[in-house]
Structure 1
Amino acid sequence: MKQLFYLLLLATVIMSCSNQKFAVRANNDHLMVNTLNQTYQIVIGQSEAKLSEETERAIQDEVENQMEARGFVRTSKSPDIVVVCSVFETKLKIKDSRKLEEDKSEYTTRRITLNGGTLMIQMIDENLNKSVWLGMASGFIKPNKSIEERELKAITRSIFDEYKLVAYGYMPKQEMTATR
């Protein structure tokens, strides 16, 4: 198990040293609450960019890995959470709402401009009938330059690093340690 940890750490260090730079952002979960959500469905939203089948599959595979790691089960009938993934090639202007301080209820809203090449992942809670989380990585798609599947999966994974909820009733498996 320690070897796996060190391999993952090494992979993270190597990827962080690459010349591919991108920025990851997420709203700070101001609408997220632990509800009875246990199921999800992935939807590739209307993207500005025409995505290849390989690109769509890489995004979907990593979203599936990340949701299942949080205890969610994929379903095609009446999901609790709909995960919408979209890619935008050009600059994007959006409103960004953030809590000023974690223990206060005040929010600030500002307009931000994202660099071209943005992968946006939005969680829609079907029970609440509203968007509850938005994460994005920008600046990774360059004109006339393809992106490798492993890079796209790493970018998707980095967005999910900001998603803190797990499925209702899910208890992550803890590594057993020997006591002396």
Structure 2
Amino acid sequence: MKLLSTLFVGSTLALALSGCFAAREARIESDYSYAGAFRRYRTYEFVTGDGLAADSSKLGEVLRDAIRTRMKVQGYKPSKRRPDLLVNFRVYEGDMRFRGYAQEDIARWVNAEKIEDDETPAEQRTGYQPVRMLLAEGTLLITLIDNRTNRAVWNGYASGVTVPNGTQGELVLRRSVRSIFDQYRVFTQGYLEGNNQESGE
């Protein structure tokens, strides 16, 4: 009996440690458009089309469900009629060269109520500082698209994500989505104040 309990504890610890190592190896990054009207966005819908975004398999639905959960937590509501944001996601296999940008934290940018558009004078623009990256095998990319302008306003990605079969794979995807959205600390305007008022009643 003691041997069985020791084996159980040992195997549980090994699983926990392997989860930690997987999380440590995954690289989480994000970048955003200075033209994003982040204060205006309230609603979203998923992009339909080819690939995993249109996939009705278990893993495709797990990803959509995990994204829905995070969008709800941050105050966004689903809408099929003219949503503010379109959400697209894709899983890439193999290593991938990717161009990101060195930027200040998006929450700081949004809180400063900055926005740049075609009318912004060149000397007042922040400017993008490209960073070339080699993303390790297995990258989950989530993109938020401004439905009005049809331009991507935010990319979040986790590289080095290995998705095993079964429930363990679902867990990995949910954790990856959570880690990616930790980079997008933007709540809909007034949402936090509304929640605080509700909790105070």
Q: TM-score, normalised by structure 2?
A: 0.67
Deviations along 1:117-139, whole A, 9 cap, x unmatched?
11000000112331100000011
Larger Cα-atom Rg: 2
Within 5 A, what are the aligned runs for 1:28-177? 30-43=34-47, 46-47=50-51, 53-99=57-103, 105-141=126-162, 145-146=164-165, 147-171=168-192, 173-174=195-196
Residue of structure 2 equivalent to 1:5: none
Instruction: Decide which structure has greater strand share.
Output: 1
Q: Secondary structure at the match of 1:27?
A: strand
Q: Quick one: distance in 1 between partners of 2:182 and 2:18?
A: 15
Structure 2 residues not aligned, in runs of 5+: 1-15, 110-124
RMSD of aligned Cα (Å) = 3.2
Q: Secondary structure at the match of 1:171?
A: helix
Q: Quick one: distance in 1 between partners of 2:79 and 2:18?
A: 34
The one-letter amino acid paired with 1:162 is: Q
Identity of aligned residues (%): 25
Q: Quick one: distance in 2 between partners of 1:77 and 1:38?
A: 12
Q: TM-score, normalised by structure 1?
A: 0.74
Instruction: Decide which structure has greater helix share.
Output: 2
Aligned residues: 162
Deviations along 1:64-93, whole A, 9 cap, x unmatched?
000011111101221110010100011111
The one-letter amino acid paired with 1:126 is: N
Deviations along 1:135-168, whole A, 9 cap, x unmatched?
00011126xx435212210111100000122223
Structure 1 residues not aligned, in runs of 5+: 1-13
